[in-house]
Amino acid sequence: MPLVRISLNRRAGDFARRVGDSVHSAMVETLGIPEGDRFQIITQRDPGEIVYDSTFLDIERTDGIVIIQISLVAGRDRDVKSALYASIAERLSADLGIRREDVFISLMEAAPADFSFGNGEAQFAYHLPPHLQSS
């Protein structure tokens, strides 16, 4: 059920969609979400519309930066989150040539009852799906 927002500078062709594919594959692998549980908002910006510090924490960033914000049900431990960050950076690097230094990820955790997937209902408020029962 994660909601993923991806922002990147404008690229030709289906590059942005392929970024989304790589991020989703990493989440399926590391978080155990179902393959069909894909909700993404991908925004391509003109140069200069993404503002970032090019050297924060001594990491050299370029205009190839990809900012990924993932809203998900709370409860995963630090090791799972670290594995997710590493998997996303590795996939984007291997699949699309994105520099690992240019992959910025932010997780936003919320309670299960904080999500509605349609019909005006909080589907996870009373019954968690199997992939969330152990998190």
**Any bridge partners for residue 9, and if so which?**
45
Burial readout 20-44 (b: 16 or more C-beta within 10 A, e: otherwise) = bbbbbebbbebbebeeeebebebee
Give me the catalytic one of 2, 34, 47, 129: 2
Region for residue 75 given its phi and psi (left: phi exceeds 0; alpha: psi -120 to 50; beta: otherwise): left
Annotated active-site residue 2? The verdict is yes
* Tokens coding 55: 């050297």
Q: Give the Å distances, CA to CA, from 33 to 1, 37, 64, 66, 102.
A: 7, 7, 28, 22, 25
Question: Look-up: residue for tokens 């991806």?
Answer: 6
Catalytic residues: 2
